[in-house]
Chains A and B, each alone.
Chain A
Amino acid sequence: MPTKPAGTLYRGREGMWSWVGHRITGVVIFFFLLVHVLDTSLVRVSPEAYTAVIGAYKNPLMALGETGLVAAIVFHAFNGLRIIAVDFWKKGAKYQRQMLWVVLGLWVVTMVAFAIRHLSLALGGH
């Protein structure tokens, strides 16, 4: 009688989901980067063009968007360091699961701190 396949080391577990998260955040960051180089390039058009377009980043909706973007960047950064540890540290593969929880813990702490500072600046009186 066929039985449900036993769990694997990778599929559906921390290893796979961290890979999914790394891919999605990577693509999001890449497309923002294209836009960000273009908007910064407006300094070469005129001071007013740049200041007008950069002003679009300074509203409450964009403040949330920026926080989301930074959340993607911080996850990609910390998980990237974990991938390097898995590849180059002798015990990296053995502890990859524990390292993912460290990544997520540091990510939460960093994002709480960033969100408090950035949102109070961006949404605060001005």
Chain B
Amino acid sequence: MSATEIQSPRSGQIGGKPESGKIAPKYRRNGSSRGNFEMLAWLFMRLSGVVLVVLIFGHLIVNLLVGEGIHAIDFGFVAGKWADPFWQFWDLAMLWLAMLHGTNGVRTIINDYAEKDSTRFWLKMVLYAASAVIIILGTLVIFTFNPCPVVDGVQLPGGFCPA
């Protein structure tokens, strides 16, 4: 390799085998503290994205396109779905994957557009707090759902109570 030849960032150390895939030290961007979090986030967006296409298209077809469509949706419709662990798991997976996918997307947007360090920090704190509340709330609702709610010994109207 002649001295004037321009070295590609991925050609490894000088004199190294080209296309070795190793990144020359001066081109490495990830500081030791961040580890490969950003790479894992990038990979998560692709993996969760594929799964979400299936989960959300299924959700839309079952809730909006089958039978009476949106007119069928009421308390009884939700009760009927969540009586089945299959739909509980479906909705739980959709909740977690969509919220993490969306939160990471908005995190990227905040990093892109908020230039002041403190603005970026606080916007992300608000984002993370809102996401945590929604994920925890949604998870609790799916698992503590009661098709026949009773308050002070009286059944609430509209519930699905055994006769």
Our pick among A23, A33, A70, A80 for the contact of B98 (Cβ within 8 Å) is A33
B56 A30 Cβ-Cβ under 8 A: no
Task: Please report the C-alpha to C-alpha distance between residue A63 and residue B70 in the assembled complex, in whole angstroms.
Answer: 9
In the assembled complex, which residues on chain A have CB atoms less than 8 Å from the CB atom of B146? 44
In the assembled complex, which residues on chain A have CB atoms less than 8 Å from the CB atom of B149? 46-47
Our pick among B60, B78, B159 for the contact of A40 (Cβ within 8 Å) is B78
Task: Please report the C-alpha to C-alpha distance between residue A2 and residue B98 in the assembled complex, in whole angstroms.
Answer: 49
Interface string of A30-53 (1 = CB under 8 A from B): 100110011011011011101100
Whether a CB of chain B sits under 8 angstroms from the CB of A29 is: yes
The main secondary structure of chain A at its interface with chain B is helix
In addition to A40-B78, A114-B60, A117-B69, 15 A-B residue pairs with Cβ atoms within 8 Å of each other are A23-B109, A30-B102, A37-B95, A41-B141, A43-B145, A44-B140, A47-B159, A48-B156, A48-B157, A58-B70, A58-B71, A70-B64, A88-B46, A117-B64, A118-B65
A57 B70 Cβ-Cβ under 8 A: yes
In the assembled complex, which residues on chain A have CB atoms less than 8 Å from the CB atom of B60? 70, 73, 114
Task: Please report the C-alpha to C-alpha distance between residue A95 and residue B49 in the assembled complex, in whole angstroms.
Answer: 21
26 A-B Cβ contacts within 8 A? A30-B105, A33-B134, A37-B95, A37-B134, A37-B137, A40-B78, A40-B141, A43-B75, A44-B140, A46-B156, A46-B158, A48-B75, A51-B75, A54-B73, A57-B70, A58-B70, A58-B71, A70-B64, A80-B53, A81-B53, A83-B46, A84-B49, A114-B60, A117-B65, A118-B70, A126-B71
Interface residues in A, total, Cβ within 8 A = 38
B56 A87 Cβ-Cβ under 8 A: no
- Residues on B close to A: CB < 8 A? 46, 49-50, 52-53, 56-57, 60, 64-65, 68-71, 73-75, 78-79, 95, 98-99, 102-103, 105-106, 109, 130, 134, 137-138, 140-141, 144-146, 149, 156-159
